[in-house]
């Protein structure tokens, strides 16, 4: 409401996890349209395009582990399964109502289809963790029709993170890979958040790797929820709890963890965590913004790790 004018807007919460807004109601349609435009720019509403990837050599046990993983982190569940001649179809839904279809062929190829929202991205990253880096790069190359080689990925990551690269586990390197391959796409998209997700997932892996190596107790080493060891300071920054600091006998490591967690929380939570129905689907509008965020993640990993005594 502004200057006695009232904007009326209808929100439609779609079954696929997206949100549609309709300003064509009420007596002040022009004002309602302006309000919707404001929502579009500030709350970032979009109609996301359909995503699809095909991954080879996924066993029945791998699929079982995937279902256990998404149920644990996302409370997602298998709505339906249907067995046909030569393949089996699973329909998976998250609490945020985004739906992903998994088609598992007898040849052990897994086809993943759905809007590239949070659940789709988590499934993709989990599957990449099961594959050798070479297979991850080939899958990215075939999916997005780009010419990319394993050595190029390694060299590019080393250029961004010359000190930290040798420290990062191979699994984290595989998680970071899609952010580099997607940056090579020269196409216009409605949403570039899918470019950023692997980088933010990678910095989460970096934080967990530091905790496993530098933590003294298993409480820290095998931490389930990262937010459990951080408190928000009056400055708005997130700092380690005192009990967590006492478990990590290295002040530089504590600073590194805080630096990495602050970018992880400030960037990942707005784009990839939908908290309730009225929340809208977040996007990154410009490719250059996505590129900048990916580079910022790499630079944060390098900067924070460089200050840790070796």
Residue 246 structural domain:
193-306
Task: Assign residue 118 the CATH number of its domain.
Answer: 3.30.160.690
Between CA 129 and CA 126 the distance in angstroms is 5
Indicate whether 302 and 215 sit together in one domain: yes
Residue 285: its pLDDT value, please? Answer: 76
The backbone torsions φ and ψ at residue 150, rounded to the nearest 5 degrees and listed phi first, read -60, -45
Q: How many domains does the chain have?
A: 3
Answer whether residue 161 is part of any domain.
Answer: no
Residue 255: its pLDDT value, please? Answer: 96
Answer whether residue 180 is part of any domain.
Answer: no
SS3 194: helix
Indicate whether 54 and 115 sit together in one domain: yes
Residue 50: its pLDDT value, please? Answer: 67
Indicate whether 36 and 95 sit together in one domain: no
Between 252 and 191, the higher pLDDT residue: 252
Confidence of residue 95 (pLDDT cuts 50, 70, 90): confident
Contact present, 259 and 303 (Cβ < 8 Å): yes
Residue 60: its pLDDT value, please? Answer: 94
Looking at residue 96, the DSSP 8-state letter turns out to be T
Average pLDDT over residues 123-128: 90
Count of Cβ atoms closer than 10 Å to residue 15 Cβ: 9
Average pLDDT over residues 4-32: 71
pLDDT tens by residue, 255-295: 999 999 999 998 875 555 444 333 444 567 788 888 999 99
Examine the pLDDT at 304 and tell me if it is beyond 80: yes
Instruction: Please give the model's pTM, rounded to 2 decimal places.
Output: 0.72
Confidence of residue 18 (pLDDT cuts 50, 70, 90): low
């Amino acid at each position: 409401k502004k200057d006695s004018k009232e904007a009326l807007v209808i929100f439609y919460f779609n079954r696929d996890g997206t949100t549609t807004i309709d300003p064509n109601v009420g007596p002040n349609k022009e004002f309602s349209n302006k309000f919707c435009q404001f929502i579009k720019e500030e709350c970032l509403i979009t109609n996301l395009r359909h995503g699809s990837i095909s991954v080879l050599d996924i066993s029945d046990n791998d699929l079982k582990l995937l279902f256990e993983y998404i149920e644990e982190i996302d409370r997602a569940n298998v709505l339906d399964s249907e067995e046909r001649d030569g393949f089996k179809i699973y329909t998976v839904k998250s609490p945020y109502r985004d739906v992903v279809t998994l088609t598992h062929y007898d040849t052990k190829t897994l086809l993943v289809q759905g809007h590239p929202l949070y659940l789709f991205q988590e499934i993709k990253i989990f599957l990449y963790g099961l594959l050798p880096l070479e297979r991850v790069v080939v899958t990215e190359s075939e999916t997005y029709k780009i010419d990319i080689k394993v050595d190029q990925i390694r060299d590019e990551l080393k250029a961004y993170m010359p000190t930290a690269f040798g420290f990062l586990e191979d699994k984290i390197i595989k998680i970071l890979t899609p952010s580099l391959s997607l940056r090579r796409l020269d196409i216009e998209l409605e949403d570039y958040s899918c470019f950023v997700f692997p980088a933010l997932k990678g910095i989460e892996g970096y934080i967990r790797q530091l905790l496993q190596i530098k933590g003294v107790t298993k409480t820290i080493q095998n931490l389930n929820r990262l937010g459990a060891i951080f408190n928000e300071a009056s400055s708005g920054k997130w700092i380690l709890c005192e009990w967590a600091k006492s478990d990590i006998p290295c002040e530089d490591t504590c600073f590194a963890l805080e630096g990495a967690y602050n970018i992880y929380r400030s960037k990942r939570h707005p784009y990839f965590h939908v908290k309730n129905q009225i929340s809208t689907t977040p996007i990154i509008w410009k490719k250059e913004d996505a590129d900048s965020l990916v580079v910022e993640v790499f630079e944060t990993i390098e900067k924070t790790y460089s200050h840790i005594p070796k």
